[in-house]
């Protein structure tokens, strides 16, 4: 069982600091997923934990021991990269056994581990094949098998599924979830895929420009984003975020964006004459009658998927609004519709981008 802790970890390449003092606690057996835009430091942080990059400041602690000066080979972690380069001239068996042979492990023990990993990953029939005679998904499983046989303290995955086609990704995603359930090991997983993050993670860590924007359970991040960055990042399609001026209206506030005014109740921390951002997810916008509407908008694009419908709408003074409705909705491009925002699911952020309310009283 393995705990990993980062204390004020800083990383600079020359003059340029790319990780700005990250604190993080990863519990034993936890599946942690790092997400964030390209260049935010996901791989760097993973490589720091693995011991492939030195920190410029702070501490990496594994099971209570500061490992800053412990080389990667002695940290007992296994990393699976996006480009998982198998040895082309070796059989699948040999690819998995190679590291253990180098470590002078007894032959029977190697055989036991490789056989067990192959069984777990369902690649037993291919053990004598070369990697080029395998499909992408089978190769990916060999790469994961190579990590499993080492019986590492923790698994570090850097976008391990991004080379696979969509169908295979879904299959491998389910296998990884099953693998974690069986092995119970500590896992840190980097991905760009929202669904992978939401479904695999016990904890999602959202990184932004070398800082942690928020860390928490997937649905907590979805329901209670702490700032506009996380609000816009978690969820696909993304939350509608609208900048507004705040005006008092007697009982609450008017959020004014150009020609559009949204009335909301009192929000603690919100001040008249300041600016704010409000957010509403596509599934929290209802199509309603004119009298009841917050916004009247024109449909610019209607995506009919059969089981669900996405409408992309424009209204004077607002950014394009995405509306999600279950089922089929006979709405066409150019049509004018009336929209109502579910106050109980609306988010309000202050001028600094930090949250004032996740959900408003109704
Ligand atoms: N060896 C290096 N020298 C200088 N800068 C680097 C080096 N490696 C990474 N960086 C910079 O550090 C920042 C973080 O890079 P990193 O690879 O961790 O991003 P990432 O979040 O993994 O992005 P992606 O999603 O594109 O893989 C980037 O701005 C990158 O340019
Ligand atoms: Mg990366």
| Interval 63-110: pLDDT, tens | 999 999 999 989 999 988 877 689 999 999 999 999 999 989 999 999
Q: Are residues 169 and 38 in the same domain?
A: yes
Q: Are residues 241 and 125 in the same domain?
A: no
Q: Are residues 170 and 262 in the same domain?
A: no
- Predicted pLDDT at 1: 76
Mean pLDDT score of the chain, rounded to an integer? 94
Q: Are residues 195 and 131 in the same domain?
A: yes
HSE-up (13 A, CA, CB side) for residue 179: 23
Please indicate, yes or no, if residue 338 is contained in any of the structural domains: yes
CA angle 281, 285, 290 (to 5 degrees): 155
Q: Are residues 216 and 241 in the same domain?
A: no
Please indicate, yes or no, if residue 362 is contained in any of the structural domains: no
160 Cβ closer than 6 Å to some ligand 1 atom: no
- Predicted pLDDT at 253: 96
| Interval 314-328: pLDDT, tens | 999 999 999 999 999
37 Cβ closer than 6 Å to some ligand 1 atom: no
pLDDT-based confidence at residue 60 (cuts at 50, 70, 90) = very high
Largest distance between two CA atoms of the chain: 80
| Interval 344-354: pLDDT, tens | 999 999 999 99
Report the CATH number at residue 288. Answer: 2.40.50.140
**Does residue 321 have a cis peptide bond before it, meaning omega lies within 30 degrees of 0?**
no
Q: Helices (DSSP H) in the chain: which residue ranges? A: 42-50, 92-102, 107-121, 136-148, 166-183, 194-200, 218-223, 228-233
Instruction: Show the tokens assigned to 148.
Output: 């499993």
Identify the domain boundary among 196, 230, 264: 230
Instruction: Show the tokens assigned to 17.
Output: 């600091």
What's the whole-model pTM score?
A: 0.92
| Strand ordering across the sheet containing 295-304 | 285-288, 336-341, 295-304, 308-314, 321-326
Identify the domain boundary among 167, 199, 230: 230
Q: Are residues 13 and 99 in the same domain?
A: yes
Q: Which residues contact 15 (CB under 8 A, 6 or more apart)?
A: none
User: Ligand 1 centroid to 170 CA: how many Å?
Assistant: 27
Please indicate, yes or no, if residue 325 is contained in any of the structural domains: yes
Identify the domain boundary among 230, 257, 283: 230
Q: What is the DSSP string of 330-359?
A: ---TT-EEEEEE-GGG-EEE-TTSBEEEES
CA angle 228, 233, 238 (to 5 degrees): 95
15 Cβ closer than 6 Å to some ligand 1 atom: no
User: Ligand 2 centroid to 257 CA: how many Å?
Assistant: 37
Which residues span the domain enclosing 270?
237-356
Give the C-alpha separation, 240 to 8, whole Å. Answer: 33
Q: Are residues 124 and 46 in the same domain?
A: yes
Please indicate, yes or no, if residue 80 is contained in any of the structural domains: yes
- Predicted pLDDT at 120: 84
Give the C-alpha separation, 343 to 252, whole Å. Answer: 13
Atom of ligand 1 nearest to the CA of 210: 14
Q: Are residues 264 and 190 in the same domain?
A: no
Number of H-type helices and E-type strands within the chain: 8, 21
Instruction: Show the tokens assigned to 266.
Output: 């009192």
Q: Are 262 and 278 a contacting pair, CB within 8 Å? A: yes
Instruction: Show the tokens assigned to 260.
Output: 């559009």
Spatial CA neighbour of 4 closest among 187, 201, 210: 187
pLDDT at residue 138 tops 90? no
Exposure class string for 43-67: b at 16+ Cβ within 10 A, else e: bbbbbbbbbbbebeebebbbeeeeb
Please indicate, yes or no, if residue 350 is contained in any of the structural domains: yes
Q: Are 82 and 158 a contacting pair, CB within 8 Å? A: yes
Q: Are residues 133 and 148 in the same domain?
A: yes
Q: Take atom 7 of ligand 1 and give the residue whose Cα is closest.
A: 13
Atom of ligand 1 nearest to the CA of 190: 22
- Predicted pLDDT at 247: 96
pLDDT at residue 3 tops 80? yes
- Predicted pLDDT at 196: 92
Report the CATH number at residue 41. Answer: 3.40.50.300
Please indicate, yes or no, if residue 361 is contained in any of the structural domains: no
Flag the least confident range among 44-58, 133-147, 323-337, 347-361.
Answer: 133-147
Q: Take atom 24 of ligand 1 and give the residue whose Cα is closest.
A: 38
| SS percent in the chain: helix, strand, coil, step 5 | 30, 35, 35
pLDDT-based confidence at residue 18 (cuts at 50, 70, 90) = very high
Q: Are residues 203 and 352 in the same domain?
A: no
Please indicate, yes or no, if residue 49 is contained in any of the structural domains: yes
Read off the DSSP letter of residue 319. Answer: P
Contacts of range 71-76, beta carbons closer than 8 Å, 24 or more positions apart: 75/50, 75/51, 75/153, 76/152, 76/153, 76/154
Strand pairing class (154-158; 77-80): parallel
Q: Dihedral sign for Cα 326, 330, 332, 334, please.
A: negative
Q: Are residues 217 and 264 in the same domain?
A: no
Q: Take atom 12 of ligand 1 and give the residue whose Cα is closest.
A: 18
Give the C-alpha separation, 213 to 211, whole Å. Answer: 6
Q: Are residues 134 and 249 in the same domain?
A: no
Query: Which of the ligands is closest to the CA of residue 81?
Result: 2
Radius of gyration of the chain (CA): 25
The total number of structural domains in the chain stands at: 2
Please indicate, yes or no, if residue 39 is contained in any of the structural domains: yes
- Predicted pLDDT at 23: 98
Q: Are 284 and 291 a contacting pair, CB within 8 Å? A: no
Q: Are 309 and 286 a contacting pair, CB within 8 Å? A: no
Q: Helices (DSSP H) in 21-159: which residue ranges? A: 42-50, 92-102, 107-121, 136-148
């Amino acid at each position: 069982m393995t705990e990993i802790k980062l204390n004020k970890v800083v990383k600079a390449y020359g003059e340029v600091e790319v990780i700005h003092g990250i604190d993080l606690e990863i519990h034993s057996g936890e599946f942690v997923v790092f997400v964030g835009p390209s260049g935010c430091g996901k791989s760097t942080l993973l490589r720091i934990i693995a011991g492939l990059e030195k920190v410029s400041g702070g501490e990496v602690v594994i099971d209570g021991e500061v490992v800053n000066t412990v080389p990667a080979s002695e940290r007992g972690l296994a990393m699976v990269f996006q480009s998982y380069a198998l040895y082309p001239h070796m059989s699948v068996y040999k690819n998995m056994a190679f590291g253990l042979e180098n470590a002078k492990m007894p032959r029977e023990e190697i055989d036991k581990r490789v056989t067990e990993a192959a069984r777990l990953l369902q690649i037993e029939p291919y053990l004598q094949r070369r990697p080029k005679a395998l499909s992408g998904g089978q190769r990916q499983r060999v790469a994961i098998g190579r990590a499993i046989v080492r019986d590492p303290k923790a698994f570090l995955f850097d976008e391990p599924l991004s080379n696979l086609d969509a169908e295979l990704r879904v299959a491998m995603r389910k296998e990884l979830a099953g693998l974690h359930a069986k092995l119970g090991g500590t896992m840190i997983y980097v991905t760009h895929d929202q669904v992978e993050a939401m479904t695999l993670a016990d904890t999602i860590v959202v990184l932004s420009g070398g800082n942690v924007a928020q860390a928490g359970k997937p649905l907590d991040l979805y329901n209670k984003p702490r700032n506009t960055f996380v609000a816009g990042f978690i969820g696909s399609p993304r939350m509608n975020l609208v900048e507004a001026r705040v005006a008092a209206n007697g009982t609450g506030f008017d959020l004014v964006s150009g020609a559009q005014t949204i009335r909301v109740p009192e929000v603690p921390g919100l001040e008249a004459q300041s600016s704010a951002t409000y957010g509403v997810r596509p599934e929290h916008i209802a199509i309603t009658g004119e009298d009841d509407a917050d916004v009247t908008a024109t449909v610019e694009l209607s995506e009919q998927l059969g089981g669900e419908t996405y409408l992309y709408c424009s209204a004077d003074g607002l950014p394009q609004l995405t509306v999600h409705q279950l089922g089929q909705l006979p709405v066409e491009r150019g049509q004018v519709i009336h929209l109502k925002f579910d106050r109980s699911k609306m988010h309000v952020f202050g001028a600094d981008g930090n949250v004032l309310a996740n959900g408003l009283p109704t």
